[in-house]
Amino acid sequence: MPRLLLCLLFVSALFPAGRDPLTYVNPLIGTRRSSIGYGGTMPFVSPPFAMTNWTPQTRQNKISVTSYEYDDPAITGFIGTHQPAIWMGDYGYVTLMPQTGGLQTTPEARRMAFSHSDETASPDYYAVSLRTAEGARIRAEMTATERCAFFRFRFPGAGVARVLVESSRPGVPGFAAVDRKAGEITGYNPHRMDAHLGPYKLPNFKGYFVVQFRQAPRNTGTYGLENKDASASRGAFAEFRPGEVVEVRVGTSFLSIEQARANLLREIPDWNFDAVRAKLHSAWAEKLDRLEVEGATDREKTRLYTALYHALLYPRVFSEYGRYYSAFDDRIHTGESYTAYSIWDTFRAENSLLTLFAPERIDGMITALLQNFQEGGWMPKWPNPSYTNIMIGTHADSLVAEAIRKGFRGFDRELAWKAVYKDAMTPPVGDTSRRWLDREEGTPYEARAGLTYYKQLGYIPTDKIDEASSRTLEDSYDDWCVAQIAKALGREDDYRFFLRRSLNDRNLFNPALGLMNGKTSDGRWAPLGGPRDTPGNRSAAGWTEGDAWVYTWSPLHDQAGLIQLMGGREAYAAKLDAHFSGGHNVHNNEPSHHYGYLYDFAGQPWKTQAKVREIAAAEYGYDAGGLDGDDDCGQMSAWLLFTAMGFYPVNPAGGEYMIGSPMYSAMSIRLQSGKTFRVIAEDVSPRNLYIQSATLDGKPLNEPLITWEQIQSGATLKFRMGPAPSRWGSDWRPAAIPAN
């Protein structure tokens, strides 16, 4: 029986009653700059959480530039990349490119035009036709495993048929070697684009690769290795007979060439492209099938399942069958590891989504952070793969608190306490002698910059530390998380101490403005600041990618306290009205993500219902340009998924989800336990977006929230929707944190 037919029968067996969810995924969403925005995503072919992602390359990626952009007219290679987001760098990558004619090693010379009409992009398969300078076509196909890739290149019937393997770029001392008898090209790439950030140089770091060819090459060679200063790119090539279909498999590793070969033989033991694709299809199907949607059009399902695809890419696996290279002590260890935690972004909703759709990964992900703590001294905030000192706060505290709150027990809780306690109590080296600028080079690990002042003054002063106002508010939330961990571990004195300190956010509330406002070291109010993220206001007003409007509601744990500070629920709601009507809500950046749900706290949940629907319609589209802002390792996508289901984790470590407005007649999550949590919205439509009443397992639900336990019980949450606002949920009051 043909392999493709076997694959189709396999898929039919998985989804006998309806369309395969994987067919809805469009990996090109977010790859185009549009009127909505630019998501900075790439059409990755790889399993969920894969160590190495494979994508066509239309440009040389670097910090602020991803490998693939939709409107580029040509492809320069197919790259095994580890770049997690547009503002981060790649490391240990390897690129392959088929070509004809003379040997062309530079991206400019080897580029070949392509058309989206000849392009197929799916999580389990990518194919494209490349146009050669002579007008012929090379058909390229790609599928992958967790650490490896499988290529098929169909060459034209005339001229040389060549596969180029680029091990490194100019300025990078990479290495490549050819074993013609074995049909292998091996090598390594020591490049870390973010190596200038963070305290470690990591002399042992390398991304290793093994490239194997099914057909025996007619000719092989290397290039660029004679340049001792690595002034040119480096790599190797293999040439074949014209008209041949050349099959190539690639193994990657951060341990050694031998391990790259072992990974390859373990993950792709046979020369069977269709079997590898079928296995990858199955890996995605198992995850995507956990979500079921009813009452959505095909293009709406494409938007949803693509969001789930994006959300299940990170954090990425960084271990290799029981061993891993640590980018924190430059050694090899035994155990499981992950990297690419964009924690300042993902602690808000992405991590919470993973507890629902990939709970089997949570213990390993927390353990990886604790291993980083043991090897480098701190849990990282944005490992890529080492410390980068990017963004603020120590929101790994939130990930630990959320895992404990939700009952995950497969990690060392006492070690976790040591890690979060150090975050909360130990200032970084040179804390009061540095300003801790964003992406400042040559600094020790940042942790909670300005913690010395925070402990002394109850806030971080804007005249001493950069981004001080945002740091104060975010550190207050992290203190609340540390308090919850202390409580769970029976540390009552620590619980009370950190709970009191979590109210430091209130020290920045300026009653004359009704907004949070930074303070200087002598206690005066700092300048309020101008538009978001301008260099001038970062130091003067102290904000991170925002301003006072963006950050006033940022203490996720203390909305009840903010209501009191503002003078009650009506005043709080009126200030929210001004926030939205004044254009201050910037959804393409994470500090605004929970704001649409805050009317629930104000006793006006109908405004939350309208606002989150409005945001979803404006910020998320259905094609390549359909994502407003860097997806940030799944956070943008996680917001859409939660919002479509009708609830959102405003305080992710609290175990509660605030209710918004469900978008479809029914959505369900198949839980790890085998139970199913189901949301039903009767009479829902774009017009009928307001909740009239709600029940949970048939009993009236009058509070605009549900809990983790209710979801895990496999409950059915049922709404009756209508076209006009109702008073449903308006009597609920959030509990205030006691001030003493």
CA distance 517 to 538: 13
How many CA atoms lie less than 13 Å away from 30 in the CB half-sphere? Answer: 32
Which among 344, 340, 446, 346 has a CA at the least distance from the CA of 385?
340
pLDDT of residue 740: 74
Please report which residue ranges of 103-144 form alpha helices under DSSP H.
107-110
Collapse the DSSP code of 201 into the 3-class scheme (helix H, G, I; strand E, B; otherwise coil) and give the result: coil
Give tens-digit pLDDT for 74-118. Answer: 999 999 999 999 999 999 999 999 999 999 999 999 999 999 999
pLDDT of residue 541: 86
Which among 297, 335, 298 has a CA at the least distance from the CA of 318?
335
Three-state secondary structure readout of 416-456 = HHHHHHHHHHCCCCCHHHCCCCCCCCCCCCCCCCCHHHHHH
pLDDT of residue 540: 75
Q: Which residues of the chain have pLDDT under 70?
A: 1-17, 530-539
**Matching CATH topology for 3-288 and 297-324+334-722?**
no
CA distance 439 to 417: 28
Q: What are phi and psi of 462, to 5 degrees?
A: -70, -25
DSSP state of 596: G
CA distance 418 to 420: 6
| Burial environment of residue 101 by CB neighbours within 10 A (0 to 12, 13 to 18, 19 or more) | middle
- What is the per-residue DSSP string for 260-313? HHHHHHHH--SS-HHHHHHHHHHHHHHHHTTEEEES--HHHHHHHHHHHHHHTS
Task: Tell me the torsion sign for CA atoms 245, 249, 270, 184.
Answer: positive
- b/e for 375-413, b at 16 or more Cβ within 10 A? bbbbbbbbbbbbbbbbbbbbbbbbbbbbbbbbebeebeb
Give tens-digit pLDDT for 269-297. Answer: 999 999 999 999 999 999 999 999 999 99
Decide if 459 contacts 472 (C-beta within 8 A).
yes
Q: pTM, whole model, 2 decimals?
A: 0.95
pLDDT of residue 15: 46
Give tens-digit pLDDT for 155-196. Answer: 999 889 999 999 999 999 999 999 998 999 999 999 999 999
pLDDT of residue 611: 98
Which among 431, 443, 621, 463 has a CA at the least distance from the CA of 539?
463
pLDDT of residue 12: 46
DSSP state of 651: S
Decide if 211 contacts 185 (C-beta within 8 A).
yes
pLDDT of residue 539: 57
The residue ranges of every structural domain in the chain are: 3-288, 297-324+334-722
pLDDT of residue 534: 42
CA distance 41 to 28: 8
Give tens-digit pLDDT for 479-522. Answer: 999 999 999 999 999 999 999 999 999 999 999 999 999 999 99
- The CATH classification number of 3-288 equals 2.70.98.10
**CA angle, 551 then 552 then 555, to 5°:** 85
| Burial environment of residue 83 by CB neighbours within 10 A (0 to 12, 13 to 18, 19 or more) | buried
Domain at 297-324+334-722, CATH class: alpha beta
